Structure formats: C-alpha cells, structure tokens
Structure 1
Amino acid sequence: MAQHIAQKLRLTVALLGTVSRKDLAAAFRNVNPNTAFDLGRADKWLQGRAQPRQLSVYDDWSKLLKLEQSGAWIAQSDLPGFTAAICARHGIDRTELERRAGAQFEASSGHEERSLGLALAGTYACYSHALSPYYRGQLIRGSLSIETGPGPHGLTAAYREVLPTGQLLVGGPVTPTKRGLYAFLKETDGDAHFFLCLFPQSRPGSVLGGYMCGGAIIGPEPQPSLTRILIVRLRDPTPEAWGGYLPPDGSIARDLASLGLTIEQPEAVDRQLAQFLVADSKDGGASQIPPAEFRAILDVFDRHWLRHSG
C-alpha cells in the first residue's frame, strides 16, 4: 500500500529544485513523455488528499530520481528509508534536504494563499433580505469591498448600507478556507455586528453567495436574523449614494446594469436570483425569531432558575 506520498513528493521537489507543479510535471515528462503523472491531481497528491493509483507513475518516479529501487518500493517504503535512499543516491545531507522541503512547502502554501487573496480583492454589490420589520419582504442593497494586507491571508472587508437613518458601515477580517469563506464584521462606533458564511470562492470569482447573520438595525426590538445574500463582483466602485432598499418591483438585473454590469436575459436572471434569495423564507423575508416566542421560553427557565437558586 502506498504511504507518505505527499512527503515523498515534497522531498522530490526539494531535491530537483522545481518551483511549481508544472515544473514537477515537466520533470516526469522528461523521463517518460507518456507519463500518467497528472498535473491536475498533483495538487491533491502534494497535500496528502489523494495519491497516484497507476503503478506507472511510481515507475517514472524511480527513473526521475535515478534509483535502483522499483516504483513499487517508492510507493510502499517508509519515509526514513525513502529519504535515506535519495540522499545516498544524490549525495545530499538529509537534514539539508528536509530543511529545503519544509521551506519550499511553506513558501508554496503562502503563495497560494496570497494568490487567493488577490483574487478576492475588489468591489461587490450585495443583495439580501431586509432585516428591519418595517421593510419586511424587500431586498436591501449593500456594497462590499475586500482589500489585501500583510500576512498569508491579510484580507479585510468593509460592508456599507445606505439606510433611512444614515449610513451603516461595518468591517473586519475575511478568512478563506477550503470549506467556506467567512467574515466577521462590526461597527467601529456602534454595536452592529454581522457574520458572513459563504461558499468558498471559485475562479474567476464573479459572484459570492451564502448567509448573512446579524441583528435588525431599524426596529422596535432586537431580533437575531438570518438571510441569504448574493455578492456580485463589479469592475468599478459603487457610487457613494448607491444602496438602500430595493423597491418592491425593483429588478436586480437592472440595478446591476446601472452599476455597469449588464447581464444577458435580465428577466430570466431576475427570476433565478429571486428564487435563490427566497428559498429559505416562508413569507419572502429574512428568517427571524419573534421576540415573544423567545420571551415565553425565557419565562419558563427564569422561573425555574429563581425557584431553585437558593
């Protein structure tokens, strides 16, 4: 059974001095133009999420490293034995090779994270359900800007809504992961907080989507709220006055066109976007807990707590 494939590949990369997966694939092709080494799967192999199934890949690997051992040995050997064999064959110190492999892997990972950050950076138009009970059933528009900074991710977001009571501005860190894209946004001079839980970004990154969780800003009572949100990338920043509640008969496609993003078949797109945004809603609005429902439960547990507090 194949084992330690990711670590063995990293040691191979360090030994050969290849700086990218394309370089590694080219090295395999040099020993066998018809190699089954798959550039598309190399990323998973190097991350340890999968391993080559064809024995021919290991045979080509043995030729690449100029080893006397077979491809099957490369697949099945333990890591210390593999490291010792390639160090002896190429006259390199084991500690030095392992140092190179570790440094190169960290640099590669950091480069990928920075590339992801650059791909996310930009300006977006956001559409979600209004959280205020006074505008229930309407959509609200907001602008989102994502910027890069120092560090592996170093991403920060600023989200703005134009409300009847004034401008709402929240901001905070953005965390991209393999399973999702997350942002925790809070108001600098207030107590508004929002959390974005989105699908992971995909190239070319034209749109993001998922959930936004927060409290209603305009309303008589605080209400924990949840709404689906669509975040559409724009080529230019939104005008300062853009935003606020979309009229009940408003069109997202027409609204995007006013921002310079004209989409083909706008009526069909509007239907598709509306279906996405209302899918979790019973009445076309955000998912919210009526305060009275929670107060009834609070009354039960408060009374029990007070009766048994002494």
Structure 2
Amino acid sequence: MRATKDVHARRVLAAKLQLTSLALNCTTHKEICARFSAANALTAFTPQNAYKWFAGKALPRVSRVYSDWSAVLGGHLTPSFIAASSFNEFAEALSRSHALPRETVGRLSPDSLPVRAPDTADVSGEPSAPRADHPSAWRADHVLPGRYLAISPAWSPLEMGRLVVGHVQIDALDGHRSKFTYREDLFGRAFVLSGEMIADTRYAQAILHADFARRAWVLNLHLPPFPASLLTGLLSGSAVLDFDGRLLTGRFLLMRDYSDGAIGAIPAYAAPDPVLIDEWLGLLGYREGKERLSFAKNAVDFVLNFRDGILIDVPPEDQRALGLALDKLAPHTGRQDALQETGRYSSTAKIKSLLP
C-alpha cells in the first residue's frame, strides 16, 4: 500500500512540474532549472534532480524546493500548498494567475502520465534529452486544441480592405496530429474547411478541404508557447468569390476562445475596427483595459498593413502574358505534341494554323 501511495505521489509531482513548465513557457529541463536558479542560486532543483522528478522517479528530499517553486510562480501559491495539494487543486489555483486551457489540464492529469524508466545516460553521465513521447517533453497537442476566433484579410475584390472573420476548432487526434476545422458564416450559410494538421516543435501545417468545392487550401502556423492564446501564420488558396480566379496567400490570426463558445456566430465580413475586435476579445473572455484595445489595434495592423502588402496573389493575366511569351520561344515539335495531347484539335492542319 505504501509503495502504491509513493508511486501516486511521484506521478502527482511529475504532473505538477509539467503544468508549471507549460505555464512558464519552459520547453526543456534546462529552462525551468534556470528559473529556479534565478529564485535561489543554491536551489536543489538541479538538472539531475529535475530529470528524476519529471520522470516520476523520486520526490524532493528537502522542503526548500517548494519555497523556490513558490517564488518561481510569483508567490501566488504557498510552499505548503504546492507540496500538499492534489493535481486538480494545484491546476485550479495555477489557472488563476496563468491562462491554462481546460483540455490541457485534463491531458496532464497524473493518471495520463506513465512513469517511464530513465533514458540512457550519455558518456558524461548526464541524462539524455527526453524523448518526444516522454511525459516531460513539450508536445504540440498539449497547447493547440481548443476554439479560436480567426481574422484574415478579405480575398474577394468586392470586400478588399475588410476583415474575414471565422471560427476554428482544433481537436487532438493522436501523437502530433490534430483535426483543424475552419468555418465562415457567409450569405446565410456556413462554409467549412477541414483537414488533418501535423506539428513539430516549431510549426503546425494542414491541407484543408472544402465542403462546397473541389479545392484545397494550405495552412501554415507558427507554434506558440503555452498557453497558446494567439496563433498566426499564412493561409494559401483561392477566394470563393473571385471572378478573376487568383491564387492568394494572406495572413491568418487566431485568438483562443476562453468563453466556452459564448461568442456565437459572427458574419464573415467585418470592418477593420479595433473597437469591434476589442468587443470580441471581451466575449472571448479576455480582461478589459487599455492593453486589450491596444492589442486589437495591433491585430488589425498585423493582418492588413504589413510591409509586403495586404495579400500575395498570382493574377491569371500575369501568367497568361508570361506563358504566351515563353510559348512563342518553344520549339515547334514540342508545341505540336502539347497541342495534340489536349485532344482539342483533330488535324495537323489546325495545329499548324496556330503556329507562326
């Protein structure tokens, strides 16, 4: 019985440390050890001990570790509370000072973190870096899942200079895979793009397919630190309403929804008004104040006014002009073969009539 309690205590400690690392945006043992060293130069939170504690192999032998832990978290939690609290109590208290998505807390519960054997030490005697599947390793699926409000520059020529507003849902699948679903409410119906998203330690990428057209869109996102309130990247494809048929790439900004979906549906096109975005941020659960309005202004500037222009596009007329110029330089035999393969011309005479 005592051995079982000891194992559970070590699991709880490992889970608390994992949650602390994510709250502090620490992705390695070295980074979190540096935080403890800054609080106390003589801390027992050394790389060797951190490795054992994160792996669920041991418990701290000195109580001073919990005082250092309290200082690292800004003094919001007492050393005795950090040491004696359950994981759920610790997570609830930590969430008051750090934004912790509910899905993440659930995945980091002690029961979900297997206690593994130590990794093989290197020739220097130091433990090697944790494997990607190790409970102390930072993984994208810890931070990405959740709901987001997305804004991007309008692609339609009729709405140029305005914002497109959409809703995003990211659901963890397994490993580093997630399902990404993007929805715009446009002209009385929902337009949905969805696909599988993969991630490493720096980027998340997805090929999104539409429910209304035989097209695909490519999404590339920077992978943010915990708690991932903001995701940014590029969305490439073609506009649903674009009679010119351009290929386009635009900036894509996602703001995490902390309101459990209370914001509801928003029409797809909106004015680039910081006050409007500030109101949305309030509905999403962000604290009111000058900083929130300042963020709203910066978000509009990020999406619409970056130095390379609002959009990167490839107009068909540009391709036609370049293509025609190069076609005129192609050898006659090659041009004849290309025309014959199209099946649009039934005789050599018709082919020759097209050649200069």
Residue 198 of structure 2: aligned partner: 175
Query: 1:261–1:107: structure 2 CA closer, same or farther, 3 Å change rule?
Result: closer
Conserved? CA contact 1:281–1:287, under 8 Å: no
1:271 maps onto 2:297 in alignment: yes
Give the CA deviation at 1:187.
1.2
Residue 302 of structure 1: aligned partner: 327
Residue 198 of structure 1: aligned partner: 221
Whole-Å Cα distance in 2 between the matches of residues 254 and 39 of structure 1?
48
1:211 maps onto 2:260 in alignment: no
Query: 1:39–1:233: structure 2 CA closer, same or farther, 3 Å change rule?
Result: farther
Give the CA deviation at 1:240.
5.4
Give the CA deviation at 1:188.
3.6
RMSD between superposed Cα atoms in Å: 3.9
Counterpart selection for 1:185 from 198, 202, 208: 208
Query: 1:294–1:234: structure 2 CA closer, same or farther, 3 Å change rule?
Result: same
Residue 154 of structure 1: aligned partner: 177
1:163 maps onto 2:213 in alignment: no
SS of the aligned residue for 1:120 comes to coil
Query: 1:36–1:240: structure 2 CA closer, same or farther, 3 Å change rule?
Result: closer
Residue 145 of structure 2: aligned partner: 121
Residue 291 of structure 1: aligned partner: 316
Residue 225 of structure 1: aligned partner: 248
SS of the aligned residue for 1:169 comes to strand
Whole-Å Cα distance in 2 between the matches of residues 275 and 259 of structure 1?
20
Residue 134 of structure 1: aligned partner: 158
Residue 278 of structure 2: aligned partner: 253
SS of the aligned residue for 1:292 comes to helix
> What is the number of residues matched between the two proteins?
230
Aligned pairs (5 A) from 1:30-109: 37-38=46-47, 74-75=123-124, 105=131, 107-108=133-134
Query: 1:105–1:228: structure 2 CA closer, same or farther, 3 Å change rule?
Result: closer
When normalised by structure 1's length, the TM-score is 0.62
Whole-Å Cα distance in 2 between the matches of residues 259 and 106 of structure 1?
32
Query: Kindly, what percent of the aligned residue pairs are identical?
Result: 20
Whole-Å Cα distance in 1 between the matches of residues 158 and 236 of structure 2?
18
Map Cα deviations across residues 38-74 of structure 1 (whole Å, 9 max, x no partner). Answer: 37997xxxxxxxxxxxxxxxxxxxxxxxxxxxxxx94
SS of the aligned residue for 2:176 comes to coil
Supply the AA of the counterpart residue of 1:291.
P
When normalised by structure 2's length, the TM-score is 0.54
Residue 94 of structure 1: aligned partner: none
Deviates more, 1:135-144 or 1:263-272: 263-272
Query: 1:246–1:183: structure 2 CA closer, same or farther, 3 Å change rule?
Result: same
Give the CA deviation at 1:133.
1.0
Instruction: Show structure 1 runs of 4+ deviating over 6 A.
Output: 18-22, 33-36, 39-42
SS of the aligned residue for 1:117 comes to helix
Conserved? CA contact 1:225–1:288, under 8 Å: yes
Query: 1:298–1:262: structure 2 CA closer, same or farther, 3 Å change rule?
Result: farther
Supply the AA of the counterpart residue of 2:168.
L
Residue 98 of structure 1: aligned partner: none
Give the CA deviation at 1:280.
3.4
Which blocks of at least 5 consecutive residues in structure 1 are unaligned?
Answer: 1-17, 26-32, 43-72, 77-100
Give the CA deviation at 1:238.
5.9
Whole-Å Cα distance in 2 between the matches of residues 217 and 303 of structure 1?
33
Query: 1:123–1:296: structure 2 CA closer, same or farther, 3 Å change rule?
Result: same
Supply the AA of the counterpart residue of 2:322.
I
Whole-Å Cα distance in 2 between the matches of residues 40 and 299 of structure 1?
68
Whole-Å Cα distance in 2 between the matches of residues 138 and 224 of structure 1?
19
Give the CA deviation at 1:275.
2.2
SS of the aligned residue for 2:226 comes to coil
